[in-house]
Amino acid sequence: DQQVKQNSPSLSVQEGRISILNCDYTNSMFDYFLWYKKYPAEGPTFLISISSIKDKNEDGRFTVFLNKSAKHLSLHIVPSQPGDSAVYFCALAGSARQLTFGSGTQLTVLP
C-alpha cells in the first residue's frame, strides 16, 4: 500500500521548456513536503520544500505547488536545463517526522 506515488517513472523535456513532475499521496496527515534530486552514484540532495500551510513555494527556476484537497504535489522547473537531468523524489513528513519517499521520476532534458 503505497502512501506516496510518482506515477511517471520517466519524463523527457526539451531544453528551455517547462518540466512538471508530479506526486500524489493518500495520507492527509502529511504536513511537510520536499523534493530531492539524485544524480547517478550520488546521494539525494535537497531541492525545495513546502509546508502544508502554503500552496506554493518558489526558488529560482524551481517552484513547488501543493494542492491539499487533491493530495497532489508538483515540481515545476522553468526553464529546464540539461544539468537538471536526474531522478527526482518527492518526500513527505507526517506526525512521526519521518520522511516517506516516492519511487522517483527520471527527468531527461534534451539539448
Partner 1 sequence: NAGVTQTPKFRILKIGQSMTLQCAQDMNHNYMYWYRQDPGMGLKLIYYSVGAGITDKGEVPNGYNVSRSTTEDFPLRLELAAPSQTSVYFCASRTTTASNEKLFFGSGTQLSVL
Residues at the site binding partner 1, with contacts judged by CB under 8 A: 4, 6, 9, 32, 34, 41-46, 49, 51, 89, 91, 93, 97-104
Q: In angstroms, what is the minimal distance from the CB of 45 to partner 1?
A: 7
Please say which residue, 79 or 94, places its beta carbon nearer to partner 1: 94
Please say which residue, 6 or 80, places its beta carbon nearer to partner 1: 6
Please say which residue, 17 or 46, places its beta carbon nearer to partner 1: 46
95: left (phi over 0), alpha (psi -120 to 50) or beta: alpha
- The closest alpha carbon to 24, from 43, 44, 8, 48, belongs to 8
The CB density around residue 2, as the number of other CB atoms within 10 Å, is 11
